[in-house]
Structure formats: C-alpha cells, structure tokens
C-alpha cells in the first residue's frame, strides 16, 4: 500500500473512531467498515491473497453487525469475526514452518487468552460456549502467525493487537464498562487489520 492510500486508511479510521465517540450517525455501521474495505481492495489485487481477502470481508461484515441494533447483533458479529479469524488462521497454517526460537512468542498469547477466559467465565452465562470457541479460534490464528513462513512481526503484531481489541470488547461487555471504549477498541482494531493485510501482502509479493 502506497503512502497516499495509507493516509486515506488512517484518515477513515480516525473519522470512524471520532464518529463513534460522538454517538454515530445514520449509516455509521457501514461507514465503520470502509477502512477494511479499502484494505480488501488492495489485498484483492495481490495474487494468492484470497484467504486474507475473505478474512477482511468477514471482519467488515462483523463490524456492520456489531454496530446494528438488533437482538442477536453481538452473536452474529462474533460469528462473522470468528469466520474471518478462521480464514486468517488457514492462511497462516498453510504456510507453517516450525521454529524453536519462536515458541515463547506463541506461548505468551496462549497464556493470556486462557487467563482472560478464566476471568470472564463467571460472567458469560449463555455466551460461554461461543466465547470459548472464539478464544480458541483467535489463539489458533495468533499461534499460526508465529510459525507462518516469512517475515514475523507484521503478522504477529497484527494478530496480537487483534486479540487485544477483541479482549477489550469482552471486558467491556462482560466485566465492566471501559471509559472511551470505542477509542481503545477501534484504535487497536484498525491497526491490527492493517498489519495483517500489509504482512500478508509483503509475504505474497516476494
């Protein structure tokens, strides 16, 4: 992605976060997804990027679902993001290359994920199974990013920041209200998607 388009992405992301903090507007649910659609456009042009493209598209659909006001919006959004993570995980694991030196990088997010699941458990109620499945899926994605052949840091950093963003959503929903939650959740979500997209494009364009 060239610098001018990166600036457009960052501007759209900042506008989305600001609009959300101000209460949104009619059609905001779709505006929120525009930065991800921009990434999807660039990924679409890279040969062999279909799994990452599908991950972005399902993630953007999850954005829309979470921002719409209907009874099952959280569950639908969760399911869409879960499918998106599965596409990312598939891309990473299809290019698996084990490296002993990266084991610690894989272990840390796994411990964090299990720890969060334990803390959340008493508050989950009927959401327990979907949340546990989601945690398992995102951990599969993060570990896959560690051992994917090619440059480590863009994909790993993006996956970990994505996990952070999702963790903030869970804490905000099930444990306590986070002040300025949209700032922290979206402020980590957009960079996470950007890092994953850029990391994947760099690997595929080699």
pLDDT tens digits for 124-173?
Answer: 999 999 999 999 999 999 999 999 988 889 999 999 999 999 999 999 99
What pLDDT shows up at residue 32? 96
Question: Could you tell me the pTM of the whole model?
Answer: 0.94
Question: Helix, strand or coil for residue 96?
Answer: strand
Q: How many residues does the chain have?
A: 206
Owning domain of residue 121: 3-205
Its sign, for the CA torsion 98, 199, 38, 160, is: positive
Structurally, the chain folds into a number of domains equal to 1
Residue 205 is predicted with a pLDDT of 61
How many Å apart are CA 169 and CA 165, to the nearest integer? 6
Which pLDDT score, from 0 to 100, does residue 127 have? 93
Around 11, how many Cα atoms within 13 Å sit in the side-chain half-sphere? 6
- Of the ranges 34-48, 100-114, 167-181, 182-196, which one carries the lowest mean pLDDT score? 34-48
């Amino acid at each position: 992605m060239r610098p001018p388009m990166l600036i457009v992405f960052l501007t759209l992301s900042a506008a989305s976060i600001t609009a959300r903090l101000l209460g949104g507007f009619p059609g905001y649910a779709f505006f929120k997804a525009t930065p991800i659609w921009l990434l999807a456009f660039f990924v679409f042009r890279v040969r062999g990027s279909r799994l990452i493209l599908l991950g972005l598209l399902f993630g953007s659909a999850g954005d829309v679902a979470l921002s719409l006001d209907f009874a099952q919006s959280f569950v639908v959004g969760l399911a869409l993001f879960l499918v998106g993570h599965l596409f990312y995980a598939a891309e990473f694991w299809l290019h698996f290359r084990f490296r002993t030196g990266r084991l610690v990088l894989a272990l840390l997010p796994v411990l964090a994920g299990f720890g969060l699941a334990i803390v959340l458990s008493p508050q989950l109620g009927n959401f327990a199974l979907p949340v546990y499945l989601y945690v398992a899926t995102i951990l599969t994605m993060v570990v896959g990013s560690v051992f994917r052949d090619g440059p480590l840091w863009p994909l790993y950093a993006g996956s970990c920041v994505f996990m952070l963003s999702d963790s903030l959503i869970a804490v905000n929903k099930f444990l306590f209200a986070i002040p300025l939650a949209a700032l922290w959740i979206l402020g980590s979500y957009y960079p996470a998607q950007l890092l994953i997209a850029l990391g994947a494009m760099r690997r595929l364009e080699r």
